[in-house]
Structure 1
Amino acid sequence: VGSSGNPQKLVILFPHACFILSLVIYAFLGALMFSHIEGNRKVNLSEEYRKFLQKLWHISRNLSENEETFKEEIHVLLNTAERDWFVNPKDRWTFFGSLFFCCTVFTTVGYGNTYPVTRIGKYLCMLYALFGIPLMFLVLTDMGDILATVLSKCYNEFRKLQSKILASKLCSGSTCNKGDELKSRAQTKVVINEPLTIMEVLKSQPGVKRRQTKYRNAEIFEMLIARENERRKPAINKSIERWSSCPELDRGKTMSRVIENFDKIGQQLEKLDVPIVLMVLVIFVYISCAAAILPNWETRLDFQEAFYFCFITLTTIGFGDTQLEHPKFFLFFSLYIIIGMEIVFIAFKLGQDRLIGLYKKVISFCGKKKTPSKKVYPK
């Protein structure tokens, strides 16, 4: 049994692993592409760069005692500067830097710290995002269904355990024995009746008895035909209806099991009934764990700044105000980012369902108040 169960588990996990593997391969291919295009570009120092240096030299030479005027002039001058003048493309567009850029593209975070400058790089970035964002959403949906299944099962098991503990506390020995006796008596009184035939059902109905014989025979004949048709109908598996255009998939037992598992997992997100307070606590603990680890290599960040950065990342806001010194270490948290996005998505889904339910209650309450009461006039 164990040897036959392991291949089935591998077949079930194979599509999920393919989704994640395809996203990883897509990210690596994008990193190779952008590191080659943007990293090998030549930086041409234009006439604006020379003007910028002349103005900077002029302001620094004519430095007066008025610091406010100096700050304003420097501030205006720095706004005209381009970052490309002072950054070597090969230093910024390394393989890990390009990989981090690709992850910010298809996760829709978009920090803005790194962006393509060349025209070819911009066109390829749009094309890369066009295919990468749907692939990322597919992985998020698949992982979200699995995570929702795990959360729902854990929460249901916790509720069952809690109910058992409460029942054991409230149930005394005498009351439990009385309940068992009542259950045994009730089970002895159960009588299983065989189902009636169509003739017996029709004979028991007074409306059928009053009708003429030919009409009764016609009705009995129609009911017999309807019951026979119901028996002959094959059991249609809803999970394989989508593959009806391909009969080879219907014949395979393995593929049908995989599809059934997909359907079962997909329904767990709708059945998930976890309190929002618990989900907020899970998100807080989840972000706190990363915020405690991140300052180990990002020395400029403390716990609060790291917590803020992780929250901005998982919610895909991505202001870009916090720049990482070592983004390649943060890439090891890619699985953390995906799972964290799933948790935030589930929390948003639960909050949305609660708000919709509250909105429906308010609308129904206001509708009941506005509808006038019907007056009953005596006849």
Structure 2
Amino acid sequence: MKVLHIPTGGLFSDGILSCITDYMAAMDKTDLDVRVLATNKAEDVAVQKVKRSGCKVVSIPYRKTNIVKYFFSLCRYLVREKIDIVHVHGSSAIMSVELVAAMLAGCKVRIAHSHNTTCEHQEVDKLLRPIFNRAYTKAFACGSEAGKWMFGNREFVIIPNGRDIKKYEYNAQNRINYRNKLKIPKSALVVGHVGRFNVQKNHEYLLQVFEELYKKDRNTYLVLVGTGEKIDEIKDLVKKSTIRDNVIFTGVIDNVADYLSAFDVMLLPSLYEGLPMVVIEWQIAGLPCIVSDTVTKECAITPLVKFKSIKESPESWARNIIDISLQDREKSKDVLFSSIRKAGYDIEFGAERLRNIYFGLTKTV
């Protein structure tokens, strides 16, 4: 069976790609030929991530520059390769581009997978909804809110953003190693953030929160993991600020899980999210998280998550960081892991379930 995953935003080292590669790495791929489509000039880190998961990378890089050329190139590829399942990942009815291409190419199983609770291009989304609703054959969502946003009252299957628990668990030696690597003192309070530098992630507000925290405690550091279209703008803001010596940009890294042990608190002041996988990862690592209340409450699978409005002052967020009572992460592992497994986020179980769904869908068409 041939499966093609299409992350419509492009092949970046982001949450959607982590979802794809984590599931594929954990899945028994006997009788499966899995490919991931790059609709952009893919980051090397992202390409390597796909290959390590046992999948191939396919490139049709015209989606944002020439969507008509992209559409017909995709159609030809699907026909030539006789793809059995097209699994499209996105947050709006713009997924119709890939789903209609798959329909015209004769692909019987067309999965639309919702990863968010809203989108940037709402007018286009509304215009394409009638086409979208006819183009997919199976609906997936990362959570109930993302499913309701994308599919309304129609049936959808929740595919939790599972993770390899052992990969993300707290490691005392990693804490020492990565603090040394980042040149952060052992005694410092380290605030972390993992995500693309884009409008959605609200980095400007994040910097304001850290500035307020820095005023209260100079022995604090902010570590920003990732890259994106706004990274240069954010770097310029930092250079002009009083916090410039205490903000660290790691760029794209392929072992985020190892770095998490070096952090103390995580922030996610996003303008909107579906069910953010990073928050699941942070909880597995035993990290307290302060998350924007615009984010779905489904991500709080342990008591480590606190929701807070970005309409409140950055100083209020800073006070909350200071008030957090840091736990012994080594001792709290077992209780955390039990909660995470109960919520369905153990990737081993999830990958087996998804494999069964794939084979079940091809048998019914």
- TM-score of the two chains, using structure 1 as the length reference: 0.21
**Higher RCO (C-alpha under 8 Å, 6+ residues apart):** 1
Higher helix share: 1
- TM-score of the two chains, using structure 2 as the length reference: 0.21
